[in-house]
Amino acid sequence: MSLERTAFDNTYARLPRRFYARITPDRVPAPDLLAWNDELALDLGVQLTCDDDEALAQIFSGNRIPAGAEPIALAYAGHQFGHFVPQLGDGRAALLGEVIDCGEQRRDVQLKGSGQTPFSRNGDGKSWLGPVIREYLISEAMHHLGVPTTRALAAVATGEIVYRESALPGAVFTRVASSHIRVGTFQYFASRGDRSGLKSLADYAITRHYPEAAEEEKPLRALFRKVMDRQAALVAHWMDIGFIHGVMNTDNTSISGETIDYGPCAFMDEFRFDKVFSSIDHTGRYAYDRQATIAQWNLARFAECLLLLDDDQSAYEEELDRFSAHFHSYYTARLRRKLGLTIEQQDDADLLRGWLGYLQREELDYTVSFRRLGARLGEKGPPEFGSFEHRWKQRIESQPEGVEEIRRTMDSVNPLYIPRNHQVERAIAGAVSGDMSTFHELLSALKQPFREKPGMAHYAAPPLPEQRVTRTFCGT
């Protein structure tokens, strides 16, 4: 089967015309396939071998539109850093269409950086290679860490120069998502007082993502509850692995509960509760430890939209009030597992706080420290983690499982390999100079993040002082 014969089954393009604009991706001069995700392609039922690199480059640069694709740019609005923008929309993206994957799941296939759309405002609709490589590596890392996320199918260099602060090589990224419906999509219709559009969108979102909600007495409230639950679980998972999204605007909040829009996101090296990387986040609005609060704020904006169709404010307030407890139960369950605690105890929260406080005070690497802590179970000698280690070991010894078993469990949730900023930057620098070897090597480490691999120690190591990256950029 080739992509040509992959049956697209486009439902979003059947929604009312004001939901999107039909577009044609730009032609690019010299498409060159830099990366192709074979495993994902198989999942999608898109079976193209490496012999077809040229065909893939043509399709995933936007030069050739496969049969059945209907490129559209989606309309949406959103709160950016707390300020409402009534019209954002896909300014540099083209949804080619939807495919049904091998697990019977509907997935969007979208080109990013394929040229201007009616939503581009002053942007060129293009992307340079840097953010393409970044999103590829980080979204795939997230997937292999078990975090719900959009995926990376392809990266294609265009042979075109795009102008940012300087002239840079252009590229197109192919993103696969369970949908591109955002809180901001609901806001687009709500802010226009378009109740009929809002109703169509809500029905569509329920059918596509939460069909069981349709069976409930109040389907919209059920939809809200389910979206809220997935956001609570998602942010807990981010915090588990030291991930900072960086731009948790409502247009970057997916209704499906997937992580979407890898802009100035980053994984922490040394732990800090209030860590911020994004160069545009001047107030720390989207700092590491504010992510749950912000998710709840975004959900409040979602509730405001649904209220136009289901006018019971106190019901939505009640739901929202549950978010925090909900998030905390996901988060503590995750952290307890990372520390090998199998029996819940009164002082767990205190133990967790003690550990994180210790990491912050000592400026220790988040990822390495969890992994080292597990290794301490089989080791003698002076403690590596101060008085915390003694207290923690006592707890572990009071549990019925053997230390080997506990260590194995810890190793299965505490990764060795994460896409550290300095390595991602190295992969980008390589790609810009035409060398994809760092990209591929790093990607292979990230595909099995919990398993130690020979020759890969440098990908597990924190940056040296001169390698530290302290700022990340949206940089599209």
Residue 76 carries which side chain, given as an amino acid letter? Y
The single-letter DSSP state of residue 271 is -
Should residue 261 be labelled a site residue for Mg ion when binding is judged by CB under 5 A? yes
Closest approach of ligand AMP to the CB of residue 184, in Å: 9
Residue (168 or 341) nearer to ligand AMP, CB: 168
Residue (125 or 419) nearer to ligand AMP, CB: 125
What gap in Å lies between CA 202 and CA 185, rounded to an integer?
10
Q: Quick one: which of 97, 125, 197, 242 contacts ligand AMP (CB under 6 A)? A: 125
**Look-up: residue for tokens 């292999």?**
144
The single-letter DSSP state of residue 395 is H
Selecting among 90, 240, 251, 269, the annotated active-site residue is 251
Should residue 89 be labelled a site residue for ligand AMP when binding is judged by CB under 6 A? yes
Helix residue spans in 67-172 (DSSP H): 129-144
Binding range to Mg ion, per CB under 5 A, among 40-48, 236-244, 248-256, 313-321: 248-256
What gap in Å lies between CA 341 and CA 408, rounded to an integer?
12
Token output for 197: 């559009």
Candidates 24, 10, 154, 176; CA nearest to 94 is: 24
**Look-up: residue for tokens 């991602």?**
424
Should residue 135 be labelled a site residue for ligand AMP when binding is judged by CB under 6 A? no
Counting DSSP H helices and E strands in the chain, the numbers are 16, 11
Closest CB to Mg ion: residue number: 261
Touching ligand AMP, residues 255-314 (CB under 6 A): 261, 263
What gap in Å lies between CA 239 and CA 34, rounded to an integer?
31
- Tell how strand 93-100 and strand 106-112 pair up: antiparallel
Closest approach of ligand AMP to the CB of residue 469, in Å: 19
What gap in Å lies between CA 298 and CA 257, rounded to an integer?
13
Q: Quick one: which of 91, 146, 148, 159 contacts ligand AMP (CB under 6 A)? A: 91
Closest CB to ligand AMP: residue number: 123
Residue 171 carries which side chain, given as an amino acid letter? A
Should residue 252 be labelled a site residue for Mg ion when binding is judged by CB under 5 A? yes
Q: Quick one: which of 88, 268, 287, 292 contacts ligand AMP (CB under 6 A)? A: 88
Should residue 74 be labelled a site residue for ligand AMP when binding is judged by CB under 6 A? no
Binding mask 42-81 toward Mg ion (x if CB under 5 A, else -) reads: ----------------------------------------
Should residue 124 be labelled a site residue for ligand AMP when binding is judged by CB under 6 A? yes
Candidates 176, 191, 192, 197; CA nearest to 97 is: 176
Closest approach of ligand AMP to the CB of residue 91, in Å: 2
- Tell me, by CB under 5 A, how many residues bind Mg ion: 2
Residues in the chain: 476
Residue (123 or 434) nearer to ligand AMP, CB: 123
- Residue 147: other Cβ atoms inside 10 A: 18
DSSP reduced 3-state for 468 = coil
Q: Quick one: which of 252, 256, 278, 421 contacts ligand AMP (CB under 6 A)? A: 252
- The reply to whether 51 belongs to the active site is no
Should residue 139 be labelled a site residue for Mg ion when binding is judged by CB under 5 A? no
Closest approach of ligand AMP to the CB of residue 90, in Å: 5
Q: How far does the chain reach from its first CA to its final CA, in angstroms?
A: 34
Binding mask 323-362 toward ligand AMP (x if CB under 6 A, else -) reads: ----------------------------------------
- Helix axes of 183-190 and 195-209: crossing angle, nearest 10 degrees: 160
- Tell me, by CB under 6 A, how many residues bind ligand AMP: 18
Contact 301, 209 (CB under 8 A): no
List active site positions. Answer: 251
- What residue ranges bind Mg ion (CB under 5 A)? 252, 261
- What residue ranges bind ligand AMP (CB under 6 A)? 88-92, 119-120, 123-126, 247, 251-252, 261, 263, 474, 476
